[in-house]
Amino acid sequence: MFLIISKQYVDADNPDSFMDYWWKLEMEDVTLTQKESMRNLHDARNRLKHQLIRPTEEDIEVYRATVERFFEENTPTVFGTDYGDIDLFSLVEFDTTRKKVSEAKEYLTNGETRNAAIALDDAFDDLMYEYKERGRGQLEYTPYPQRRNIMSERSYSDDVQEWIDTSKTLFDDIYSELQILSLGIDYTQYSRFNSIVRDVRMMGKTDDDFEKDEIKFGIQFVTRAALKLQQTQLDLTRNFQHPRTRSFFDW
């Protein structure tokens, strides 16, 4: 992830392999250190993945120290700030989402876990909205399905109205879940996040209802989701047309 973000940050060419990042970044006058140490780590990763050769505990400690040195030495080189001072959420490009995550972090620091959960709930909703708006801005129409609110002035019996309300809630849940899956967001992680922030505004909820580790997870989840979505490139190579401008034979 660090190398991917570094490449994007300095607008370097796409690498052909893991080790190619060093060369591509150097072409942009960014010289990364720990190249051979990271090569050893990458080789160990490949041995584990493809040959099921597990590293020893001593090797793991060496790799841990290698990664720590890599971040400490190269973060100032690429981003102009110390590794200890950087938060991934600061790299989020969606302004409102980043602001809400920042608020959640501040609430957490002050022990206001309920307010932090509310801020995270808002942050994820804002992320979905901002991402769709980015698509609308690039394509001049939204490529994502929109909810349709079907209103009726007709009155129904209590039983029928209850069935309608239950069905609407069910379809709203299905819509949200399909949206998460279609965007490639880890659904297991989303389910955990949703269980934390669900019904957070219910009366009676207090700071005691939210663990600090849950809030930390929520911050990480929203941040990772935002970074993933901002890396997603919309397909602009096709000759897109607004649906209203297409003829019958285009469908």
Q: Which residue has the tokens 């997603």?
A: 232
- 123 and 29 co-located in one domain: no
- 70 and 162 co-located in one domain: no
- 109 and 67 co-located in one domain: no
- 60 and 101 co-located in one domain: no
The pLDDT, as a whole number, for residue 154 is 66
- 69 and 45 co-located in one domain: yes
* Residue range(s) defining the domain that contains residue 34: 2-86
- 31 and 105 co-located in one domain: no
Query: Model confidence over 32-89: pLDDT tens digits?
Result: 999 999 999 999 999 999 999 999 999 999 999 999 999 999 999 998 888 877 777 7
Query: Model confidence over 173-189: pLDDT tens digits?
Result: 677 777 787 788 888 99
Phi and psi angles of residue 184, each rounded to the nearest 5 degrees, phi first? 80, 15
Query: Model confidence over 206-251: pLDDT tens digits?
Result: 888 899 999 999 999 999 999 888 877 655 444 444 444 444 334 3
Query: Model confidence over 92-149: pLDDT tens digits?
Result: 889 999 999 999 999 999 999 999 999 999 999 999 888 888 876 666 656 555 555 5
Number of domains in the chain: 2
Phi and psi angles of residue 27, each rounded to the nearest 5 degrees, phi first? -65, -20
Q: Which tokens hold the place of 211?
A: 């663990």
Domain annotation covers residue 246: no
CATH code of the domain covering residue 116: 1.20.120
Domain annotation covers residue 160: yes
- 63 and 176 co-located in one domain: no
Taking the C-alpha atoms of 227, 189, 176 and 243 in order, what is their torsion angle to the nearest 10 degrees? 40
- Residue-wise DSSP of 164-176: HHHHHHHHHHHHH
Q: Determine the angle formed by the axes of helices 212-231 and 187-197, rounding to 10 degrees.
A: 130
Eight-state DSSP code of residue 113? H
Which residue in 125, 147, 140 sits closest to 225, CA to CA? Answer: 125
